[in-house]
Structures are given as structure tokens and as C-alpha cells.
A = this chain, B = another copy of it.
Amino acid sequence: MEDIARLTQLSKMTVSRALTNSGYVSQEARDKVQAAASQLNYEFNFIGRQLTRNKTGLLGVITSFEGFVGTYYFGRIIEGLQQGLAGTDYHLTLYDSSSESFNDGQKCAKLCHQRRVDGLAVIAPHTDDDFIKTFSDLQVPIIVIGGSPIHKTISYIDVDNFGGAYAATEHLIHLGHKKIGFIAGLANLSDARQRQEAFEKAMADHKLPVKPSWIIEGKYQTRLAFHGCLDLLSQDDRPTAIFASNDLMALGVMDAARTLGLKIPEDLSLVGFDDIRGADMTTPPLTTVHQPSYQFGKTSAQYLLKTITGADGNGVLREKLPAELVIRASTMTLGMHQKAKR
């Protein structure tokens, strides 16, 4: 940059201003600088700016690489984040919480701090409060995606898991189902717990029994749901509908039903949760609860930017997006099929 100042007979300062389009610079000066810059093959160096501003223009995305990064959910969040960052000078860096999260992520938090990330987006599953606390102590804007930390000062964007699961259950109930099974997710994740509680609440509200033997542990995995359902659906007294608390497990249910010769939705109605890619392409297309993951990302980026620039008076964002039930073809009115046949 000094070189171009020399070449143009201008001060470094004017050059800086011209290059970054900031402050007042005459058109003449601007042109000269541009010319000299391209002649010298000059490229702006962010590191200098970072040092003076003590800002990196980097947002840290903290997530578990193993089992999360390859996920449709994660992908949509990243797309959303990127979209929210479009047109700014901010970029995303990845931090793996699973490899560094020993002692509540302290190592990871330290790294983020040392590297001076300007903001942090923490993606589940690490939304337990100790972990979050470690990061919120960093004095950097932070938002939790897909979780709802208890501490009132920590921002988050989440989906209304309870509401979505309640709606899904009620959808089955309205269809006339009374014998409804449930495939549970990972017990230590709060979203999984909320979905299960909503299921139980909906059943209770409609005075329907919840048979413990109709609740199976799927741990959010297709395979476990598959095997669990093989047993469940082989029983004489089997449910006429199943609510799988995520789509991956719903796929397992589909496989199990198919294996046993049960037709969906004629013999078994099925609702999932997430609306993953391809959920509209299963046979039959899956009725499920849509997870607004793209919106998570976009909103998070916008929130972080606002908070970083202080435009928002560093308010706290605690938002639960509504969970929309998407009705496709894996659910039908109980008995409809038999009646039609007769």
C-alpha cells in the first residue's frame, strides 16, 4: 500500500480511503489509486485491518463434526447463515465441539477467543447449559441454534418442538387413531424430550392411553427404529399409527412395515419430524413436521451482525419458530381403507 502511495504521490491514508471506499476522496485520486493498484498487482490485506480493529470478520460455527456436518439439517443452516452474511465481509469458520468439548468445551472456547471470532453460532446437540455458559463467558455475541438454553440472557433460535409434536400427535388423533406408538429420540437432547412430552400431553389431553410397550427408543437412528418397530409391529395388539420423533426413524418404521407386509398408510399411519430432504419422495411421501433450519441460519447471521455492530443495542433474541405440520401421504383416516374395500 505504501508502494501505491509513492507511485501516486498521495499519502497512505488517501490510498486507504480510496481502496476501501470510506471517507472523502476525490474522483481524481480514486482513479489514480485504482490504476496504481492494478499496475502493482496490489491485493488488500485483511490481517492489517483485523489488527487495528481487533475484529476478524469471522463467525465461528460450533458443532459436532461427527454426525452433524454431513446432515441435511446442518447444510440448510449453513446455507442460511451464508445468505444472512451475503454482501458483508464476514465469513464462517468451523469449530468441532466433539473433539474439543472435553470439560464443557473450554478448549474450543479458548480457541475461538484467541482467534478473536466476532460472533458464535452454536448448533445442537451441545446446547446443555454448562457448555453454553463456557462460550457465553467469551464476551462475544453468541446464538444457540436448535436449542433453548435456560439462562435468560443467552440468545437462541429454535423451533417449537413441543408445538410441532403436539400437532403431529393431534393430527393422528383427529384421523381417528387411538392406538398410537411413539419412537423416541436421544434422551439426553432436549428437543427429543420435548417431542416426547408433547406426544404424551396430546394423548392425555384426548384421554388416550400411552402404552409403555408402544414407546420405543430409536435414538434418532434409522436402524434402531427399524429393529424396534419390527418387534412392535409384530405384536397382536399393535398401534394403528406411529409418531416417529424424527424422519430418519420414520424411514426405519417404513422399512419395518414393509418387511412385515404392512401398508402405509392403509395399515399404519406414520408421522415424522424434521422434513428432511427426500421426505417428500419416500413411498408414500411422509407426513412430517417441518424444521425451519434455513431460517435458523439466516436469522442467526442477522442477529449476530446486528449485535456485533451494536445496531441492536445488543438485545437478546429468544425465538421459537412455529413448527409447521406438512401433511403428505403417510397418514390417513383410520379405517378408511377397509370401508372403501367393502
List the B side residues contacting A220 at CB < 8 Å.
none
Kindly provide the distance from the CB of A115 to the nearest chain B CB, expressed in whole angstroms.
5
For the complex, is A281 an interface residue (Cβ under 8 Å from B)?
yes
- A283 in contact (CB, < 8 A): yes
- 4 closest cross-chain pairs (CB), A and B: A70-B75, A69-B75, A70-B72, A92-B94
A78 to B78 Cα, complex, angstroms: 14
Segment of A51-59, A164-172, A328-336 in the binding face: A51-59
Q: Which residues of B contact A226 (CB under 8 A)?
A: 281
Pick out which of these stretches binds chain B: A24-32, A38-46, A197-205, A238-246.
Answer: A38-46
A337 close to B (CB within 8 Å): no
Chain A residues proximal to chain B, CB less than 8 Å? 43-48, 50-51, 54, 56, 58, 65-66, 68-76, 78-79, 82, 86, 91-96, 99, 110-111, 113-116, 222-223, 226, 251-252, 255, 258-259, 277-278, 281-283
> What chain B residues lie within 8 Å of A78 (beta carbons)?
65, 69-70, 94
The number of times this chain is found in the oligomer is 2
What residues on B are CB-neighbors of A56 within 8 Å?
A: 47
Query: Chain B residues with Cβ under 8 A from A69's Cβ?
Result: 74-75, 78-79
**Hey, which chain B residues are within 8 Å of A92, CB to CB?**
93-94
- Chain B residues whose C-beta falls within 8 Å of the C-beta of A47 in the assembled complex: 47, 50-51, 54, 56, 116
Bound: A272/B92 CA distance, A: 34
Residues of B near A70 (CB, < 8 A) are: 70-76, 78-79, 277
A58–B113 touching, CB < 8 Å:
no
14 A-B interface contacts by CB (under 8 A): A43-B110, A43-B113, A43-B114, A45-B114, A46-B116, A65-B79, A71-B75, A82-B96, A82-B99, A91-B93, A92-B94, A223-B281, A255-B283, A258-B283
Q: How many Å lie between the Cα of A78 and that of B297 in the bound state?
A: 19
With A69-B79, A79-B66, A283-B258 known as contacts, the answer to whether A91 contacts B99 (CB < 8 A) is no
Q: Tell me the minimal C-beta distance from A55 to chain B in angstroms.
A: 9
The answer to whether A116 touches B45 (Cβ under 8 A) is: yes
- A114 adjacent to B72 (CB under 8 Å): no
Rounded to whole Å, the gap between the CB of A89 and the closest CB of chain B is 9
